[in-house]
Amino acid sequence: MAPSASDDPLVAKAFDANKHEELARAVEQLLGYLVAMVAWLIGMVLALAYFGMTDGFVGWVFLVPFAVVGVILYLFGRWANKAGSAPPKVGYDRGHEAAGLGDRPDSGGVR
């Protein structure tokens, strides 16, 4: 007899709440990297344009995009850490049973 899907460790791993939290954190970090990269590219183009239109020394303008990238990465890092430190959502809300709504949240009150 073939093992059922509930006995398969790969299936159990796919529904592990901790893995989903880690994936959500990684996605938020990746989003931060992409936003920072776009901000850096736009900032460097604007810095180059400002550098070309201004007389005198304005080399400091090339440091501004890096400062913006630093702030963006810091904020996205804090957001990802906050999401990663949230308690895992295991199972379903047991308040449904106490409220008489049935055994599952989607049961519509029928037992």
Residues 56-102 pLDDT 10s: 999 999 999 999 999 999 999 898 888 767 665 555 455 545 555 55
CB-CB neighbours of 85 under 10 Å: 9
Q: Please give the Cα distance from 104 to 94 (Å, whole number).
A: 9
**What are the Cα distances from residue 4, in Å, to 24, 41, 64, 73?**
28, 51, 58, 44
Q: What is the pLDDT of residues 13-49, one digit of tens each?
A: 777 777 777 788 888 889 999 999 999 999 999 999 9
**What single DSSP character describes residue 105?**
T
Residue 99: per-residue pLDDT:
52
Query: Which of 73, 63, 1 lies closest to 30 in space, CA to CA?
Result: 73
* Domains of the chain by residue range: 36-81
